[in-house]
């Protein structure tokens, strides 16, 4: 199993081009199932999650070719069982978002229930309620959901809770339903907007993505498209925190600034200078980080996927900060690991109170989930001595060759492959 070893102290300096967004790529891969044609995706990030989704599409009968540019041909899907098996769904929950497209296009699908997750229970009740409102017959058995519908019909549906995946699943299903669908209390994340943009390029009729109400006029058919994936606001944000805490200066080329306002606002509150330039976002790390309070919210609020990284920023700030997590009930697994590195932080309910320390100290730590592992890499960049991060397969799910990209900015970091743990 690989591990990553970081020696702290180097300032991050230079330019980095932000990669395509994981959470957009995965959903657009699913959207390819809505067409019988070929869909070509560009700027695809080289991530294990994207490869898992490609494997699932192949299991469903798609032909998938390429890597940075991915060609997906869904012509062969209908002949197969339209089933998303447990062995794939358990490795990546986003697999459940094949449900809407398969049901809408083929009138039937069988998808494994995802089970629990490190950061929370993460049920899919809203996905199922939304698809039921569009006329799906749903039956749960033996750990699977079986969905059937001769043809879905338009409907009005209000989500009980704002869910990114639920919005995307039901929105995709509604594109081929008979009639008009009105979805309320939907997620407004940029990845929802990006999916709607691609679906409309495929011939769908979606209005309102990015607001809390989305309307979809069902059509009979969608066609394949060629689309370049938008840059990843979370990868950009993670590197921005790295520049901030190391007192560095980094230009994030293609950073999707319009999708990062809450993040940039909090960086500036912490004394970090962020300058929007024609090519992207330039981040200057200050001599002293100011304490900052953060509460995670659905977009356009502060993203939960940046919570762990911001805890590292607060852990070396001059003063007390509070970080409150409102989206997932168990997203503090990085706290005990950061405490091992000398961070002064304490969990109290869904809030962590953090008193900044002068310097963290390097230690051997364990990655527990994707963003938690990113926070451990960031902490290693500013810690005294060596930090060894284990279970980095979590990191590879959402960051492409992060050690090489950070080394390109001057970090002293390496991956040790196949290390005996």
Residue 304 near ligand EPZ by CB under 6 A: yes
Contact map string, positions 78 to 117, toward ligand EPZ, x by CB under 6 A: ---------------xx-----------------------
* Helix axes of 233-245 and 370-382: crossing angle, nearest 10 degrees: 20
276/252 Cα distance (integer angstroms): 10
List residues bridging with 412 in a β-sheet.
7
Residue nearest to ligand EPZ (CB): 165
Q: Pick from 123, 300, 336, 385 the residue near ligand EPZ by CB under 6 A.
A: 123
CA-CA-CA-CA dihedral for 47, 50, 51, 53, to nearest 10? 160
Q: Pick from 25, 26, 345, 409 the residue near ligand EPZ by CB under 6 A.
A: 26
The CA-atom distances, in angstroms, between 56 and each of 138, 339, 414 are: 22, 38, 31
237/217 Cα distance (integer angstroms): 35
Binding segment (CB under 6 A) for ligand EPZ, from list 101-109, 156-164, 211-219, 401-409: 156-164
Q: Which residues are within 8 A (CB) of 82 and not within 5 positions of it... i.e. 6 or more apart?
A: 60, 102, 106, 108, 109, 110
CB nearer ligand EPZ, residue 101 or residue 356: 101
Binding segment (CB under 6 A) for ligand EPZ, from list 59-67, 123-131, 148-156, 238-246: 123-131
List residues bridging with 401 in a β-sheet.
none
Active-site choice (30, 62, 82, 117): 117
Residue 282 near ligand EPZ by CB under 6 A: no
CB nearer ligand EPZ, residue 262 or residue 304: 304
Residue 126 near ligand EPZ by CB under 6 A: yes
Q: Which of residues 327-356 bind ligand EPZ (CB under 6 A)?
A: 327-328
Binding segment (CB under 6 A) for ligand EPZ, from list 18-26, 60-68, 133-141, 314-322: 18-26
358/346 Cα distance (integer angstroms): 17
Q: Pick from 398, 400, 403, 415 the residue near ligand EPZ by CB under 6 A.
A: 398
Beta carbon of residue 352, minimum distance to ligand EPZ (angstroms, whole number): 17
Does 62 qualify as catalytic in the annotation? no
Beta carbon of residue 226, minimum distance to ligand EPZ (angstroms, whole number): 22
CB nearer ligand EPZ, residue 170 or residue 383: 170
CB nearer ligand EPZ, residue 172 or residue 289: 172
Full DSSP string of 201-249? HTT-EEE-BTBSEEEEE--S-B---EEEPPB-HHHHHHHHHHHHHTT-E
Q: Pick from 35, 40, 163, 321 the residue near ligand EPZ by CB under 6 A.
A: 163
Do 307 and 294 meet the contact criterion of CB atoms below 8 Å apart? yes
110/102 Cα distance (integer angstroms): 9
The gap from C-alpha 363 to its chain's centroid, in whole angstroms, comes to 27
Q: Pick from 233, 259, 371, 391 the residue near ligand EPZ by CB under 6 A.
A: 371
Q: Which two tokens stand for residue 33?
A: 């199932």
Q: Pick from 62, 99, 104, 124 the residue near ligand EPZ by CB under 6 A.
A: 124
Burial class (CB in 10 A: 0-12, 13-18, 19+), 301: middle
Q: Which residues are within 8 A (CB) of 90 and not within 5 positions of it... i.e. 6 or more apart?
A: 112, 114, 115
Q: Which of residues 174-203 bind ligand EPZ (CB under 6 A)?
A: 187, 191
Residues labelled catalytic: 117
Question: Which residues contact ligand EPZ (rule: CB under 6 A)?
Answer: 22-23, 26, 93-94, 120-127, 161, 163-166, 187, 191, 304-305, 327-328, 370-371, 398
């Amino acid at each position: 199993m690989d591990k990553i070893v970081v020696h702290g102290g180097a300032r991050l300096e230079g330019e980095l081009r932000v990669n395509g967004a994981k959470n957009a790529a995965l959903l657009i891969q699913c959207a390819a199932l809505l067409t019988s044609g070929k869909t070509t995706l560009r700027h695809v990030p080289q991530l294990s999650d994207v490869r898992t989704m490609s494997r699932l599409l192949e299991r469903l009968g798609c032909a998938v070719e390429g890597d940075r540019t991915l060609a997906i041909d869904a012509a062969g899907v209908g002949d197969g069982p339209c089933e998303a098996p447990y062995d794939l769904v358990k490795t990546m929950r986003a697999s459940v978002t094949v449900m809407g497209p398969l049901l809408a296009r083929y009138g039937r699908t069988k998808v494994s229930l995802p089970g629990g997750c490190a950061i929370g229970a993460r049920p899919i009740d809203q996905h199922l309620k939304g698809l039921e409102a569009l006329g799906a017959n749903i039956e749960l058995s033996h750990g699977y959901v079986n969905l059937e519908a001769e043809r879905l019909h338009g409907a009005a549906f209000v989500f009980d809770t704002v869910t990114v995946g639920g919005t995307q699943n039901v929105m995709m299903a509604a594109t081929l339903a008979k009639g008009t669908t009105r979805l309320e209390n939907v997620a407004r994340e940029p990845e929802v907007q990006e999916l709607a943009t691609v679906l409309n390029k495929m011939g769908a009729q979606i209005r309102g993505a990015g607001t809390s109400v989305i309307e979809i006029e069902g059509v009979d058919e969608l066609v394949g498209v060629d689309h370049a994936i938008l840059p990843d606001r979370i990868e950009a944000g993670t590197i921005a925190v790295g520049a901030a805490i190391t007192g560095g200066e980094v230009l994030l080329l293609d950073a999707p600034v319009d999708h990062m306002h809450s993040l940039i606002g909090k960086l500036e509150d912490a004394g970090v200078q962020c300058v929007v330039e024609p090519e992207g976002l330039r981040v200057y790390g200050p001599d002293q980080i100011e304490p900052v309070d953060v509460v995670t919210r659905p977009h356009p609020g502060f993203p939960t996927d940046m919570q762990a990284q911001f805890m590292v920023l607060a852990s070396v700030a001059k003063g007390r900060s509070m970080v409150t997590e409102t989206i997932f009930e168990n997203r503090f697994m990085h706290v005990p690991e950061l405490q091992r590195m000398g961070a002064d932080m304490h969990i109290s309910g869904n809030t962590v109170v953090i008193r900044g320390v002068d310097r963290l100290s390097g230690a051997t730590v364990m990655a527990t989930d994707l963003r938690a592992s990113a926070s451990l890499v960031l902490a290693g960049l500013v810690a005294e001595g060596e930090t060894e991060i284990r279970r980095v397969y979590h990191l590879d799910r959402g960051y492409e060759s992060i050690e090489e990209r950070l080394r390109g900015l001057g970090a002293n970091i390496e991956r040790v492959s196949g290390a005996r743990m």
